[in-house]
Structure 1
Amino acid sequence: MPRSQRNDNFIDKTFTVVADILLKVLPTSNREKQAFLYYRDGMSAQSEGEYAEALQNYYQAMRFETDAYDRSYILYNIGLIHTSNGEHGRALEYYYQALERNPSLPQALNNIAVIYHYRGEQAIENGQPEIASMLFDKAADYWKEAIRLAPTNYIEAANWLKMSKRMVI
């Protein structure tokens, strides 16, 4: 049974009903509808922490989705799951793929920065200050771009950039 038919959450049910109505009303191809159904089920599974199921749905959505912009969000969500699982290298691959298709995706830029910042902190703990500095600089570059695209969304990152003197006002 598709996930959309077994949601217990009122908000998920409401979203599913509205999405189903839109799919019937909007002039879209069967391929586009299939992609959206898998994407919707992936988002639902992901929100419930069912990452394996979410990944299966996202991979299916990728088989049907042809629009680069829409694919960027699928790739971004796959990256989120890998981040949640501590697979930062794989997450970066998916975030970069998302940005190739949609360079104006500040949340992917932010998540890349978060991973580089985390790796910088690990380098400090391992007594590698030069590597840490390079990783922090990389994080700063991605945060600057994310902030440029969404100036009010990343206040903590902006504060870190100011405190670390990586962004001069």
Structure 2
Amino acid sequence: MPRFQRNDNFIDKSFTVMADMILKVLPATKKEKEAFAYYRDGMSAQADGEYAEALDNYFEALKLEDDPYDRSYVLYNIGLIRTNNGEHEEALKNYLEAIELNPRLPQALNNVAVIYHYRGEQEKEAGNDEAAEALFDQAAQYWKTAIRMAPNNYIEAQNWLKTTGRSQMDVYF
């Protein structure tokens, strides 16, 4: 049974009904509609914590989806799941590919920075200060770009950038 037929969550059901109505009215090809259905089912599964099912749906959506903008969001969501599963290297690849397709995706830029920062902390704990600083610098670059796009977001990153001397930008609004 397809996920949209068995979802017990009212909000998810409402989203599914609205998405199906929009899909019927939008001038889209059968392939585009099918890609969206997989993406929608992936989001629903992800929200329920069913990550394997979500990944299956996202990978099917990627096979069908040609639009770079839409593909970027599918890849971003795959990255979220992989990050949650501790697969940071694979998640990083997904986020970077999403950014390549859609450079105006601050949440993906933020997540890349978080992974680089995490790796920097690991290197620092291991006593590899030079490697740690290089990773922190990479994190800083991604955070600065994300903050320029979404200045009211990523307050902790803004504070970290200032306290570590990696940024003098003042973007508080």
Task: Measure the CA separation in 1 of the matches of 2:4 and 2:165.
Answer: 48
2:100 corresponds in structure 1 to 100
User: Deviation of residue 127 (structure 1)?
Assistant: 0.9
What are the within-5 Å matches in structure 2 for residues 118-133 of structure 1? 118-133=118-133
- Mark the runs of 5 or more structure 1 residues left unpaired by the alignment: none
Matched residue SS, 1:104: coil
**TM-score, normalised with respect to structure 2:** 0.96
Matched residue SS, 2:127: coil
Aligned residues: CA RMSD = 0.7
What are the within-5 Å matches in structure 2 for residues 55-74 of structure 1? 55-74=55-74
Task: Measure the CA separation in 2 of the matches of 1:46 and 1:12.
Answer: 11
Aligned residues: 169
Matched residue SS, 1:75: helix
- Mark the runs of 5 or more structure 2 residues left unpaired by the alignment: none
1:85 corresponds in structure 2 to 85
User: Deviation of residue 168 (structure 1)?
Assistant: 1.1
What are the within-5 Å matches in structure 2 for residues 1-169 of structure 1? 1-169=1-169
User: Deviation of residue 153 (structure 1)?
Assistant: 1.2
Spell out, residue by residue over 1:59-100, the C-alpha distance to the aligned partner (whole angstroms, 9 max, x if none): 000111110000000001011111000010000110111011
User: Deviation of residue 4 (structure 1)?
Assistant: 0.8
- Letter of the 2:164 partner, please give it: S
Task: Measure the CA separation in 2 of the matches of 1:104 and 1:7.
Answer: 32
User: Deviation of residue 161 (structure 1)?
Assistant: 0.3
Identity %: 68
